[in-house]
Amino acid sequence: MSNTHNLASRHPPNFVEAKNTRQKSRAAGLDPNRWYAVEYDNAIKKGQITEVVFWNLPIALYRGEDGLLAAVQNRCPHRQLKLSHGAVENCQLRCAYHGWAFNREGWLVDFSHDSFGKPLLKKQLRTYPVAIRYGLIWVFPGDPEKAESVEIPNIPELEGDDPWASVTVDFTWNTHHSMVIDNVCDFAHAFLHRKYRPFTDAKLRHFESDDNRVFLSYDTFVGGGRFSGMFVDRERINTKSIDLCYEYPYQWSDTGGKIKHWCFLLPIGERKTRVFFVFYFDAFKIPLTSLKTPKWLTQTVLRIASPLLLKPILLEDGIALEAEQEGYDEFWDAPPIELNPVVPLFQQLTAHKWEAYLQSQEKLNTIGA
Ligand code: FES
Ligand SMILES: [Fe+2]
């Protein structure tokens, strides 16, 4: 066999071909029967349309003139054009090519070239449940009948009359979603962040897992950077440990009950993931005093810290993750060396959930056959 052939035929295994848990997790999707954050609420104005993709499934997301959102299959049933090339008219979506229009429920409601007869459309467009929460648009890409019984993560600190100060940042990384989970929960990579020092000297103190989550705690020094260190209130907050959780398919952290985040993944494809990080803080300390920042100041500090601190740290993660994906694409069959005992648990959870989803689909197909 020539070298060229060897190189060309080497590609990471798909889920069925995968030989170990790590390979399985790197090929797995995320269960579509969950809610996924897909876009910022304020990114789609009335009359605007955009495409969002969930695990290679293109969805047209638009906002009607009445302000309500809709998510439909992004494919005109006529000549398969993406409906996101089209236009929103009142509360309908009109295809760019022959001008067929669909309502929010996916029904064809208007077609302009009727001198050729009425289109025999047996099926409506597929539609997807949509919701808005925490300033984000959420879509349920799976079976719409299940949407009601599945919850969007509950963040009580961001609800009510007096929500905590918060900021949301997002990134689209050329990496598999399972690598993002490994990254955000594995504090062995303090070296990558040696400039900003968001966590140092992490020691895994405790971990436990069940069918839906992997929970872990580290003893570590949180927020040790020069800038963040000035604002972190160490008198009121225990910054010597952090709890983290892979709460499938989401992830969160909690430092002393006062500094928290959720991470919402949108798996776009095998090598592309959009990640929304929602950070929320009870309060900071006014530098050189022991005074707690009032809400408005906490929000201002957070707004300033976001481009100066949060984003640069996460950009470092993004660079490492994209490089890890490139490494995996080439060396996927190298034996895994993993020192952190929780990392295989994340991978196991991702792989098990995907396996269960695929099996449920198979069952449905057998019943339907
Ligand atoms: S391709 Fe959409 S109306 Fe013809
Ligand atoms: Fe990191």
Q: How far apart are CA 142 and CA 267, in angstroms?
A: 14
pLDDT digits (tens, 9 = 90+) for 43-93: 999 999 999 999 999 999 999 999 999 999 999 999 999 999 999 999 999
The pLDDT value given to residue 3: 44
255's tokens: 């430092």
Find the 163 Cα to ligand 1 centroid distance in Å.
Answer: 46
Q: How far apart are CA 281 and CA 163, in angstroms?
A: 10
302's tokens: 């957070």
CB of 139 sitting under 6 A from ligand 1: no
Give all domains of the chain, ordered by start, each with its CATH number. Answer: 46-149 (2.102.10.10), 159-352 (3.90.380.10)
Find the 6 Cα to ligand 2 centroid distance in Å.
Answer: 35
Q: In terms of pLDDT, which residue wins out, 14 or 123?
A: 14
Instruction: Return the best residue to mutate from 73, 81, 83, 113 for the ligand 1 pocket (most ligand atoms within 8 A of CB).
Output: 81
Residue type, 195: K
Nearest residue (CA) to ligand 1, atom 4 = 98
The pLDDT value given to residue 201: 87
Q: What is the mean pLDDT of the chain?
A: 91
Find the 320 Cα to ligand 2 centroid distance in Å.
Answer: 9
Find the 61 Cα to ligand 1 centroid distance in Å.
Answer: 18
pLDDT digits (tens, 9 = 90+) for 197-253: 888 889 999 999 999 999 999 998 887 666 666 777 777 777 889 999 999 999 999
Asked whether the whole model's pTM tops 0.75, one would answer yes
Taken as a whole, the chain contains a residue count of 369
154's tokens: 């509950």
The pLDDT value given to residue 349: 98
The pLDDT value given to residue 126: 95
Judged on CB neighbours under 10 Å (0-12, 13-18, 19+), 190 is middle
Residue type, 127: T
